[in-house]
Amino acid sequence: MSKIIVNKLDKKSTINKNIYGNFSEHLGRCIYNGVFVGEDSSIPNVNGMRTDVVEALKNIKLPVLRWPGGCFADEYHWKDGIGPKENRKRMVNTNWGGVVEDNSFGTHEFMEFCRQVGCEPYINGNMGSGTVQEMSEWVEYMTFDGESPMANLRRENGQDEPWKVKYFCVGNESWGCGGNMRPEYYADLYRHYQTFLRNYGDNKLYKIAVGPGTPDTHWTDVVMREAGKYMNALTLHYYTVPHDWQHKGSATEFTEEEYYLTLRKAAYMDDLIVSHTHVMDRYDPEHKVDLIVDEWGTWFDVEPGTNPGFLYQQSTMRDAMVAAITLNIFNHHSDRVVMANIAQLANVLQAVILTEGDKMVLTPTYHVFDLFKSHQDATLLGSFTETKEIGTEEDKVANLSVSASEDKDGVVHVTVANVSATESCPVELNLLGQDLTSVTGRILTGAMDAYNDFDTPNQVHIQPMEGIVVENGEAKFTLPACSVAELTLG
Ligand code: AHR
């Protein structure tokens, strides 16, 4: 029997809804086919955007979407993606498979997709191969209401009103694909570029600087020291790669050892956040600079027979466990982590959605975002969980991953994953600060390697949770092996 105690009197930070954000790059079939099919497609669409995908994202209340990359962002010249489509430049996507990028999805299309989904845009600017003027003009194009060359150009292209753009990042992985820079050099360039990102009218930019992608805190240290006062947030990238970058392992065929290895590596996110925020605190004791984890998720070998540059992988219940562990970690760090963007939205890495022609599949990871959606903008509550270590000799993890929050109506939601691949877990749950009279639940469960595909799209799906007993103010229930649940306490 494991015990969970949630304390409604211990109100902590607000869980920023943007922790449940996503990332869409011009990579493989994420944008083209995953999001955008064009107005003339036989696949149901509104202004070229897939209706099934838009509806699915509305259901999980997608709050914010990062675009256009990733590595792609540092070679993206935004002027190639505006104006009449027949005039748009056809270019090579050098990062991802060397395929033709026809620029039919550009700034207007991205803003239209965000409008349909009801999420905020998060734009990633090109510092790697773009100029200060180009980045500055993009902001002017998108957000200036008055008379200016860029605002006039936007109007000529059919958009009278400026868009609201808050989140803007200067470069991507500038220590790697974004320019192989040293932190000293990046910090200086960041200071330079961000100077010319103007606030037009009441559009106030929230400026984001490139953070590290490794446990090494040197990048964080230098960038915070040299440029900390010019940013609203610093990013962190972390991918869960079971083995190493050369032999990542299959997404669907793995042993129990590889399962626990993957989960142990996912749980490492906690250490990363602690170590990097510790360094940030040296230069920012008042916590003015937020942390944004704008790329995270599993990275496995591509599905056999697919383009290695497209990063297409299936998503199993193992991915669902990674998502649950990671999102619970973010909730617990919501005093510093204000946004996170799983990589990526569709058909790439730990995708929430897979598409093939007119078919769409919701992955187990999608369902985890569904189960966690009531945490969005809720207040994190203090909680205690009695766990035991499970796994293998080398790779141990806590058997339960939990977080709890109170929503705007005072209702408490608890998300809990039993990450054991084989053992169910009986749980006793107590709520301090309120008489517990009822508990309802929704649950996702399946074998560790279960997944949804185009032939069996509902192999893994959310079901109502049976067998919850509430007696004398205490709830008792059993979590099956490899399961994620959302509990609503009344
Ligand atoms: O998400 C795929 C790639 O991973 C991104 O383009 C890059 O930023 C990271 O290395």
Burial track 191-213 (b if 16+ CB lie within 10 A, e otherwise): bebbeebeebeebebbbbbbbbb
- pTM, two decimal places: 0.97
Q: From ligand 1's centre to the CA of 325, what distance in Å?
A: 21
Distance (Å) from CA 218 to ligand 1 centroid: 21
Q: How far, in Å, is the centroid of ligand 1 from the Cα of 70?
A: 5
3-state secondary structure of 317: helix
124 lines ligand 1 (CB under 6 A): no
pLDDT, one tens digit per residue, over 326-369 is 999 999 999 999 999 999 999 999 999 999 999 999 999 999 99
446 lines ligand 1 (CB under 6 A): no
Q: Quick one: which atom of ligand 1 is closest to the CA of 23?
A: 1
As given in the structure block, the two tokens for residue 77 are 């010249």
The residue whose C-alpha atom lies closest to atom 3 belonging to ligand 1 is 70
**CA–CA distance, 313 with 239 (Å, rounded to integer):** 14
CA distances from residue 458 to 59, 120, 405, 484 in whole angstroms, order as listed = 17, 30, 29, 16
Q: Is residue 449 a contact partner of residue 420, using CB atoms and an 8 Å limit? A: no
Q: Which residue has the tokens 């003339």?
A: 40
How far is the C-alpha of 29 from the C-alpha of 27, rounded, in Å?
6
CA separation, residue 224 to residues 227, 237, 262, 376 (Å): 5, 16, 31, 29
Instruction: Give the residue whose CA is nearest to atom 5 of ligand 1.
Output: 70
Q: Which residue has the tokens 């943007």?
A: 18
Tokens 């869960």 correspond to 240
Each residue's pLDDT expressed in tens, for the chain with a length of 490 residues? 899 999 999 999 999 999 999 999 999 999 999 999 999 999 999 999 999 999 999 999 999 999 999 999 999 999 999 999 999 999 999 999 999 999 999 999 999 999 999 999 999 999 999 999 999 999 999 999 999 999 999 999 999 999 999 999 999 999 999 999 999 999 999 999 999 999 999 999 999 999 999 998 999 999 999 999 999 999 999 999 999 999 999 999 999 999 999 999 999 999 999 999 999 999 999 999 999 999 999 999 999 999 999 999 999 999 999 999 999 999 999 999 999 999 999 999 999 999 999 999 999 999 999 999 999 999 999 999 999 999 999 999 999 999 999 999 999 999 999 999 999 999 999 999 999 999 999 999 999 999 999 999 999 999 999 999 999 999 999 999 999 999 999 9
Q: Which atom of ligand 1 is nearest to the CA of 239?
A: 4
**Residue 285 preceded by cis peptide, ω within 30:** no
Ligand 1, residues 29, 67, 173: which to mutate, most atoms within 8 A of Cβ?
Answer: 173
Judged on CB neighbours under 10 Å (0-12, 13-18, 19+), 464 is exposed
- Which residue minimizes the CA distance to atom 4 of ligand 1? 70
Determine the residue of 22, 27, 71, 72 to mutate for testing ligand 1's pocket, defined as the one with the most ligand atoms within 8 A of the Cβ atom.
71
Q: Running DSSP on this structure, what letter comes out for residue 89?
A: P
Residue among 398, 408, 411 nearest 438 (CA): 411
Q: How far apart are CA 119 and CA 39, in angstroms?
A: 21
Helices (H) and strands (E) in the chain, counts: 10, 26
Asked whether 128 lines ligand 1 (CB < 6 A), one says no
Closest C-alpha among 422, 45, 68 to residue 256: 422
SS3 label, residue 148 = coil
Provide φ and ψ at 204, rounded to 5°. -110, 115
pLDDT of residue 246: 92
Gap between the Cα atoms of 264 and 397, Å rounded: 6
Q: What's the CA-to-centroid distance between 152 and ligand 1, angstroms?
A: 34
What gap in Å lies between CA 261 and CA 241, rounded to an integer?
9
Q: Which atom of ligand 1 is nearest to the CA of 343?
A: 1
75 lines ligand 1 (CB under 6 A): no
Rounded CA separation 380/407 (Å):
9
Looking at ligand 1, which residue's alpha carbon is closest to its atom 6? 70
Instruction: Report the catalytic residues.
Output: 173, 295
How far, in Å, from the CA of 469 to the mean position of ligand 1? 45
Ligand 1 proximity of 302 Cβ (cutoff 6 Å):
no
Distance between Cα 457 and ligand 1 center (Å): 27
Query: In which residue are the tokens 């994202």 written?
Result: 57
Q: Please give the structure tokens belonging to residue 185.
A: 């050099």
Residue 325's alpha-carbon distances to 139, 231, 320, in angstroms, are 36, 29, 9
Residue 484 and residue 415: Cα distance in Å, rounded? 7
CB 120 within 8 A of CB 61: no
Q: What is the pLDDT of residues 231-251, one digit of tens each?
A: 999 999 999 999 999 999 999
My answer on whether omega of the bond before 473 falls inside 30° of 0, hence cis, is no
In angstroms, what is the span from residue 488 Cα to ligand 1's centroid? 36
CA distance 200 to 194: 14
The CA distance from 151 to 134, in Å, is: 14
The response to whether residue 172 sits with its C-beta less than 6 Å from ligand 1 reads yes
Say if ligand 1 is within 6 A of residue 173 CB.
yes
Task: Give Cα separations from 103 to 91, 111, 444 (angstroms).
Answer: 8, 14, 39
